[in-house]
Chain A
Amino acid sequence: MDESRPIFTQIAEQIENDIITGVMAEESQAPSINEIAVFYRINPATALKGVNVLVDEGALYKKRGIGMFVATGAQHRLVEKRRLSFSAEFIRPLIAEAGKLGITTTQLTAMLTQEGTE
């Protein structure tokens, strides 16, 4: 766990990742709150808060008495959401660091192309 951010946010992101990569398929059952708490060694109340982020987004839904399931269309919606924040989270820090080191945008583009083809 990363000290600088709330644990429940990190739990929500971890579940999102599993849905995006298809590890958790749509309409399959998600791990229970207790399983998440024990696995990540966190308080169950924190695990619940993390899961509720995904319930609020509509990525998970509850079946009464059975548990939590991945909603149909969740994977596509989460990918769209992550794409929107991709620039702020990855591109801008990349450009800032490149600027610090005197790497021009042209050089950066060339580096991206090269890395991408390797």
Chain B
Amino acid sequence: MTAIVEVSGLTKRFGSLAAVNDISFSIEENRICGLLGRNGAGKTTLMQLLTGQDFATHGDLRVFGMSPVENASVLHNISFIKESQRYPDDFRARHVMKSAPWFFRNWDSDLAERLVDDFRLPLDRKIKKLSRGQLSSIGVIVGLASRAPLTFFDEPYLGLDAVARQIFYDRLLEDYSEHPRTIVLSTHLIDEVANLLEHVLVIDDGRIIIDEEAETLRGSATTVVGTRAAVDSFVGSRTVLHRDGIGGLASVTVTGLSAQERVDAAASGLELAPVSLQQLIIHTTNTTDREFA
């Protein structure tokens, strides 16, 4: 396994705010990696640092083994699709499709054409007259057709409807299967992308709080539901991710239950429910408990 991105002790400060706070991680080659976290957690700042669009305050950052800042050989291999990409005022989508191959050496114009059809993108309308979803679809098309060895999608689908998002996921998987490359996908729609991801990074308050294989995270947490007394005695001194309660019932989310513990829990009348990736992340980035007596 080769690491495409290696980050160690990376910090980015804006005045007194540490948007990225002393983080270290790496991203392996040819994987789809999810970069997840709440608004303002530091996702976009991190991607700007990785793509050489901003300077780190301190720390070490290597992309394809080198610093990305002002480094053409690194930047040639990167496609960064931003949530709010700006285009020249009188640009039409056709101009984007025409100029993109100048920047991306792997550009596949057949794929781009097919995606334009899939998303029903009007090529000859001025970009500022396009709807929010159509604007997003330009980004998605460029991100896929550029086929860059390292592609970042930062919230690529603001305003895209459910059909268009499904087209994006399907085309992403198809093209990635045939042309493996490293893809970093940052999104709030965790449930929708959970099965596409091989690796998951969760950033919260400028720090990486989860850096794990998606398969390992899946099923790593369990919600235990039952009477308060039974739940409390089962949970004991375990780390509790989340706790809800109403009347005599309690619902507690815990991690790392063994097969034997599951059998024991079921035997003592407790119900076990799986926790989705999205729920797991909500529970780990939001520690508010709700207890109704």
Q: Which positions in A face B, CB cutoff 8 Å?
A: 1, 3-8, 33-34, 37-38, 40-46, 49
Q: Are A6 and B218 in contact (CB under 8 A)?
A: yes
Contacts of A46 in B (CB 8 A): 195, 198, 214-215
Q: How far is the CB of B117 from chain A (nearest CB, A)?
A: 18
Most B C-beta atoms less than 10 A away, residue of A33, A38, A43, A46: A43
Cα A33 to Cα B180 with chains together (Å): 13
User: 20 other contacts beyond A38-B177, A44-B180, with CB at 8 A cut-off?
Assistant: A1-B195, A3-B218, A3-B274, A3-B276, A4-B274, A6-B218, A6-B219, A7-B215, A7-B218, A37-B173, A37-B177, A41-B170, A41-B196, A42-B196, A43-B32, A43-B198, A44-B173, A44-B177, A45-B31, A46-B215
Residues of B with C-beta under 8 A to A40: 195
Bound Cα distance A108, B231 (Å): 33
- Contact digits for B251-276, partner A, Cβ 8 Å, 1 yes 0 no: 00000000000000000000001111
Chain B 133-170: CB-based contact to A (< 8 A → 1; otherwise 0): 00000000000000000000000000000000000011
The one of B170, B176, B215, B275 in contact with A8, judged by C-beta atoms closer than 8 angstroms, is B215
Q: A49 to chain B: which residues have CB within 8 Å?
A: 215
The verdict on B291 contacting chain A, using a C-beta distance below 8 Å, is no
- CB-defined contacts of A37 to chain B, threshold 8 Å: 173, 177
- CB-contact partner of B215 in A4, A6, A33, A41, under 8 A: A6
Chain B interface size range: 20 to 34
**Chain B residue, CB-CB nearest to A40:** B195
Q: Which of B31, B196, B275 is the most central at the interface, judged by chain A CB atoms within 10 Å of its CB?
A: B196
CB-CB nearest 5 A-B residue pairs: A4-B274, A34-B177, A3-B274, A42-B195, A43-B198
Residues of A within 8 A of B274 (CB): 3-4
Residue of A nearest to B277 (CB): A3
Q: When chains A and B are docked, how far (Å) is the Cα of A41 from the Cα of B196?
A: 7
Residues in B whose Cβ lies below 8 Å from that of A41: 169-170, 173, 195-196
Instruction: Kindly name the residue among A5, A8, A46 whose own CB sees the greatest number of chain B CB atoms within 10 A.
Output: A46
Please state if B215 and A44 are interface contacts (CB–CB under 8 Å): no
Chain A residue nearest to B272 (CB atoms) is A4
B-side contacts of A6, CB under 8 Å: 215, 218-219
Chain B contacts for A34, CB-based, 8 A:
174, 177-178
* Assembly CA distance A6 to B274 (angstroms): 11
CB-defined contacts of B7 to chain A, threshold 8 Å: none
Closest to A33 in B: B177
Residues of B within 8 A of A7 (CB): 195, 215, 218
Tell me, in angstroms, the Cα distance from A41 to B177 when the chains sit together.
11
Would you call B195 and A43 a contact (CB within 8 A)?
A: yes
13 contacts between A and B (CB under 8 A): A3-B218, A6-B215, A34-B177, A37-B173, A38-B177, A43-B195, A43-B196, A43-B214, A44-B173, A44-B180, A45-B31, A46-B195, A46-B215
B197 within 8 A of A: yes
* Closest B residue to A46 using CB positions: B215
Residues of A within 8 A of B197 (CB): 43
Report Cα–Cα, A117/B123, bound state, in Å: 63
Per-position contact with A for B191-206: 1 when CB-CB < 8 Å, else 0? 0000111100000000
* Distance A49 CA – B174 CA, assembled complex (angstroms): 18
User: Bound state CA distance, A42 and B177, in angstroms?
Assistant: 11
State which of A3, A8, A38 has its C-beta within 8 Å of the C-beta of B173: A38
Complex: A116 Cα to B276 Cα, angstroms? 38
Could you say which of B176, B214, B218 has the most chain A C-beta atoms within 10 Å of its C-beta?
A: B218
Q: How far is the CB of A73 from chain B (nearest CB, A)?
A: 30
> Which of chain B's residues has its CB closest to A32's CB?
B177
With CB as the reference atom, state the residue of chain A lying closest to B166. Answer: A41
